[in-house]
Amino acid sequence: MLSNFPRVTYLPALLFGSLFVVSFFIASSKASADAPLEGTKPAQWRLIWTSDPATSATVSWSTAQRGSSHSVRFRVKGNSTAEQNAEQGVQLADSGRYTGGDLELYYHHARLDDLQPGTAYEVQMVSDEETSPVFYFVTAPAKDRVFSMLHGGDSRSDQSARRKMNRVIANMVAASFANSEPADDLIALAHGGDYIASGTNLAQWSAWMSDHELTTTDDGRLLPIIPARGNHDRGKPFNEIFGFPTDDLNYYAIDLGPQVRFVTLNTETSTAGKQAEWLAEELQRSRPKRRWLLAQYHRPAYPAVKSPGSALRSWVPLFEQFNVDLVCEADGHNIKRTVPIRDGKQDETGVVYIGEGGLGVPQRTPKKERWFLQSPGMTDRGDHVFVLTFGPQEIVGKCVLVDDTVRDTFSRPVRN
Amino acid sequence: MTDPLPHASPSWQWGDWVLRFVIALQGLGVGGRYLFSSHETESDVYGWLYFDHGWPEATAQRIDDVGAWACCLASLFVVLGGWLAMPRGPVDRSQRRQRFGRYLEACAAITVAVWVLALAITHSLRGEIYAEWSLAEYAVRYGAPLSLLFLQRDGRMTAAATMHRLGLGLLMLAAAVTFFLHGYKALQGYGPFTDLILLTDQNWSDFGWGQSFAESALVTIGIVDMLVAILLLATRWRWLAIYMAFWGALTAVSRITASGLSAWPETLIRAANWGAPLAIACYLTYRSKASSITIASKVSTARSSSP
């Protein structure tokens, strides 16, 4: 049909065609080492905070077979007398089969309520006759005290780096409680989304959940995760993995102590409608009562490599109106901390945006020329996690690289 | 009796030129998004090579830049080629120029089509929401330059007519598929579409539309889009194409009305969403006139040959 065309016309097509053919042949499925899942033996344990973390938590795990009875035994840690043992609770789990491909895997979520704030609880998952090791977790404090948390994102495309980062996190958590200094106590990990590459692929989720076990410390401490949905986390599995109701839209706010309000938003649904209305109400209600107001979501409003998401129009005006103290973003695969921003300009009274994701993903070269990344802001690349310490007068933030070096330190003063 | 020569028809020429400008605008949009806007970023080709297949970042970046630059250059050459290919002056002297113009135009169109197709394929492989529909959703973006290859052919009448039918068919199919997919996403209440409505209202009209209103509107929009796409293929009625052009332009511009002027590449990159239907309307106008002429001619011949 194109026989009348000279050879020069074919050249671009041939070049590009060759590129794709070669690339398709080079493509190979990623190796993933799922943790052993046998019968109804509990595996892929995780502790999730999506409602009041001072008094509730969701203990979740997976089994390879459906089983018939799934529950969590729990008690206050350290209770060992017969009388105290009698106070042990049992919470039945909501169970079901994960969607997302041929892999057969079952989720179990035990929702623990009416817990005591700032208290360590031992938990053991029970599926039929099989039991998990005994773990423990600590509920969020009820009194105003100094503490720290982690924020990171994007753990989707480099399993080796993801596992390494998870081990780093476990070591950081263990070290933070190994001393008597409360300020460095890491009470939770906020994950900004893009856990895996394809949100409907259960095999990838399974690998992520197994890898997440590595955030558990050697003495069995479970690190609570505060999940946000990323653009790669589409489909039903996300809600099944983190224990959200089936059609939940994944925006919520929780108290990490009486003075820290942590808002999780969802950039993968409408940002301007009901979510923005909810955010406005939430910030208006929380700002007068809390010293620290933070938000996390996936797609950046002030990106270091990409174009801005709709959060720039939908949420940034609200962040500025209600003087949010710090905003945690992900998605870009790099490290960034913006200058304080108000009305699209650098302003000391403005909002600082950090993050962009490095929990196990190749890093992009950031676009250092963007105005909001100029000094005193910064940008770089490298697997990393942010440590945020909430003091009475300031939030101190540190960007810790996978080799445990600190790449960036900053502080945000309390707003008067 | 054969069809009249298409390139002599103003409506056909308008169609060709609309397509050329669409390809040019789209090429500039690709350049804007991936090279020189204030929020320039990397494409899914880069992401696919670097993240999914472990290519060195510099190589992936270079390939990405080459693709975007190629589209920018192609946007110039497709217009230049079209201009050179225009018949004017003594036939003998202009033949070489015309042929060169067509080759230039074809190269430019292939370049844009291949790169936009590459963007669609790599996007479809990258696991985002509705990514699996990217090839269909972007159909008009690579379909428009591909169809130009067929539509700008001349030469022997019968061969050219076949090419034109193929080109118009391809263009209509591509425009309809894209329209249908957008309709489907609207029907599903795709969040970013809701935001286009709400943010546009927030920035401009301030009617205070809520999410429920926007989602209800999207259901209607989605059904209309899907129906129009099917009807265009079934009826080839040019007013449907004109409606699609109007609606495609409105939705392309909504990127700017919702996100501000800095979103100009997003509007340009969607030039084919309105440009292809507009070109279709021009071609269908020609075919309608040609058909009338042919019928009139047949009637006239029949009358003159009757005793």
ipTM for the whole complex? 0.88
Q: How far is A214 from chain B (nearest CA, A)?
A: 23
| Nearest-CB residue to A308 (from B39, B49, B126) | B39
Q: Are strands A106-112 and A147-152 parallel, antiparallel or unpaired?
A: unpaired
Tokens of B8: 């002599």
Is residue B49 less than 8 Å (CB to CB) from chain A? Answer: yes
Q: At what angle do helices B139-151 and B157-187 cross, to 10 degrees?
A: 170
Query: Where are the alpha helices (H) located in chain B, listed in sequence order?
Result: 10-31, 44-47, 57-84, 91-124, 134-137, 139-151, 157-187, 191-200, 211-235, 238-259, 264-268, 271-305
Q: Report the chain A residue with the minimal C-alpha distance to residue B119.
A: A20
CB contact under 8 A, B53 and A27: yes
Q: Cα(A389)–Cα(A148) distance, rounded to whole angstroms?
A: 4
Q: Residue A127 has what pLDDT?
A: 97
| Nearest-CB residue to B39 (from A8, A269, A307) | A307
| Nearest-CB residue to B129 (from A2, A157, A234) | A234
Cα→Cα distances A5→A365, B103, B155, B307, Å: 41, 8, 12, 49
Q: Residue A19 has what pLDDT?
A: 41
| Phi/psi of residue B260, nearest 5 degrees | 95, 170
Q: Which residue has the tokens 């009209």?
A: B205
Q: Residue B287 has what pLDDT?
A: 73
Q: How far is B113 from chain A (nearest CA, A)?
A: 9
For chain B positions 278-307, those within 8 Å of chain A (CB to CB) are none
Q: Report the chain B residue with the minimal C-alpha distance to residue A197.
A: B127
Query: Domains along chain A?
Result: 43-138 (2.60.40.380), 147-413 (3.60.21.10)
* Residues of chain B with C-beta less than 8 angstroms from the C-beta of A199: 127
Q: Residue B157 has what pLDDT?
A: 62
The HSE-up count of residue A14 (CA atoms within 13 Å, CB side) is: 5
**Which of B37, B39, B73, B123 to probe by mutation at the A interface, max A CB count within 10 Å?**
B39
Higher pLDDT, B98 or A48: A48
Is residue B146 less than 8 Å (CB to CB) from chain A? Answer: no
Provide the residue ranges of all domains of chain B, joining segments of one domain with +: 6-282
**Which of A3, A4, A9 to probe by mutation at the B interface, max B CB count within 10 Å?**
A9
**Which of A18, A307, A383 to probe by mutation at the B interface, max B CB count within 10 Å?**
A307
| Nearest-CB residue to A362 (from B41, B51, B195) | B51
List of residues 6+ apart from A73 with CB closer than 8 A: A88, A89, A90, A123, A124, A126
CB contact under 8 A, A313 and B57: no
CB contact under 8 A, B260 and A5: no
CB A115 within 8 A of CB A230: no
Q: What is the 3-state secondary structure (H, E, C) of chain A?
A: CCCCCCHHHHHHHHHHHHHHHHHHHHCCCCCCCCCCCCCCCCEEEEEECCCCCCCCEEEEEEECCCCCCEEEEEEECCCCCHHHHCCCEEEECEEEECCCCCCCCEEEEEEECCCCCCCEEEEEEEECCEECCCEEEECCCCCCCCEEEEEECCCCCCHHHHHHHHHHHHHHHHHHHCCCCHHHCEEEEEECCCCCCCCCCHHHHHHHHHHHHHHCCCCCECCEEEECCCCCCCCCHHHHHHCCCCCCCCCEEEECCCCEEEEECCCCCCCCCHHHHHHHHHHHHHCCCCCEEEEECCCCCCCCCCCCCCHHHHCHHHHHHCCCCEEEECCCCCEEECCCEECCEECCCCEEEEECCCCCCCCCCCCCCCHHHCCCCEEECCCEEEEEEECCCEEEEEEEECCCCEEEEEEEECCC
Q: Cα(B126)–Cα(A360) distance, rounded to whole angstroms?
A: 17
For chain B positions 170-189, those within 8 Å of chain A (CB to CB) are none
Q: Report the chain B residue with the minimal C-alpha distance to residue A30.
A: B52
Q: Which residue has the tokens 């009826």?
A: B235
Q: Residue B188 has what pLDDT?
A: 94
Is residue B100 less than 8 Å (CB to CB) from chain A? Answer: no
Q: Cα(A167)–Cα(A194) distance, rounded to whole angstroms?
A: 19
> Average pLDDT in the A188-206 region?
95
Tokens of A260: 């820290």
Q: How far is B301 from chain A (nearest CA, A)?
A: 34
CB contact under 8 A, B114 and A272: no
By three-state DSSP, how is residue B242 classified?
helix
Q: Which residues of B30-55 are buried (b: 16+ CB within 10 A; e: fewer)?
A: bbbbbbebebbbbbbbbbbbbbbeeb
Q: Cα(A98)–Cα(A121) distance, rounded to whole angstroms?
A: 28
Q: Is the pLDDT of residue A105 over 80?
A: yes
Q: Residue B141 has what pLDDT?
A: 97
Q: Is the pLDDT of residue A179 over 60?
A: yes
Q: Are strands A406-413 and A394-401 parallel, antiparallel or unpaired?
A: antiparallel
For chain B positions 70-89, those within 8 Å of chain A (CB to CB) are 70
Q: How far is A366 from chain B (nearest CA, A)?
A: 10
Is residue B161 less than 8 Å (CB to CB) from chain A? Answer: no
Q: Report the chain A residue with the minimal C-alpha distance to residue B164.
A: A1
In one-letter notation, the amino acid at residue B196 is: L
Q: Residue B1 has what pLDDT?
A: 41
CB contact under 8 A, B51 and A273: no
CB contact under 8 A, B53 and A308: no
Share of chain A above pLDDT 90, in %: 86
* Residues of chain A with C-beta less than 8 angstroms from the C-beta of B257: none
CB contact under 8 A, B52 and A197: yes
CB contact under 8 A, A272 and B194: yes
Is residue B156 less than 8 Å (CB to CB) from chain A? Answer: no
Cα→Cα distances B265→A256, A301, B252, Å: 41, 18, 10
Q: What is the pTM of this model?
A: 0.90
Q: Cα(A299)–Cα(A319) distance, rounded to whole angstroms?
A: 15
Q: Cα(A19)–Cα(B235) distance, rounded to whole angstroms?
A: 39
Angle at the Cα of B11 from the Cα atoms of B153 and B108, rounded to 5 degrees: 40
Q: How far is B177 from chain A (nearest CA, A)?
A: 23
Share of chain A above pLDDT 70, in %: 89
Is residue B135 less than 8 Å (CB to CB) from chain A? Answer: no
* Residues of chain B with C-beta less than 8 angstroms from the C-beta of A232: 126-128
For chain B, the distance separating the N- and C-terminal CA atoms, rounded to the nearest angstrom, is 21
CB contact under 8 A, B195 and A272: yes
| Nearest-CB residue to A305 (from B41, B155, B199) | B41
Q: What is the mean pLDDT of chain A?
A: 91
A:B CB pairs within 8 Å: 121
For chain A, the distance separating the N- and C-terminal CA atoms, rounded to the nearest angstrom, is 74
Q: Report the chain B residue with the minimal C-alpha distance to residue A249.
A: B191
Name residue B110's beta-bridge partners: none
Q: What pLDDT, in 10s, does the model give residues A3-24?
A: 444 444 444 445 444 444 443 3
| Nearest-CB residue to A273 (from B33, B42, B198) | B198
**Which of B99, B196, B211 to probe by mutation at the A interface, max A CB count within 10 Å?**
B211
Other beta carbons within 10 angstroms of residue B231's beta carbon come to 14
Torsion sign across C-alpha atoms A306, B266, A156, B115: negative
Q: Is the pLDDT of residue A385 over 60?
A: yes
| Nearest-CB residue to B199 (from A4, A272, A274) | A272
* Residues of chain B with C-beta less than 8 angstroms from the C-beta of A361: 51
Q: Which residues of B237-252 are buried (b: 16+ CB within 10 A; e: fewer)?
A: ebebbbbbbebbbebb
Q: Is the pLDDT of residue A344 over 60?
A: yes
Q: Residue B269 has what pLDDT?
A: 97
Q: Residue A4 has what pLDDT?
A: 46
Mean pLDDT per 10-residue interval, chain B, length 307 residues: 59 90 97 93 95 94 97 96 82 78 94 97 90 95 95 72 91 98 96 97 93 97 98 96 98 97 96 97 83 60 57
Distance of CA A72 to the CA centre of its chain: 23
CB contact under 8 A, A313 and B39: no
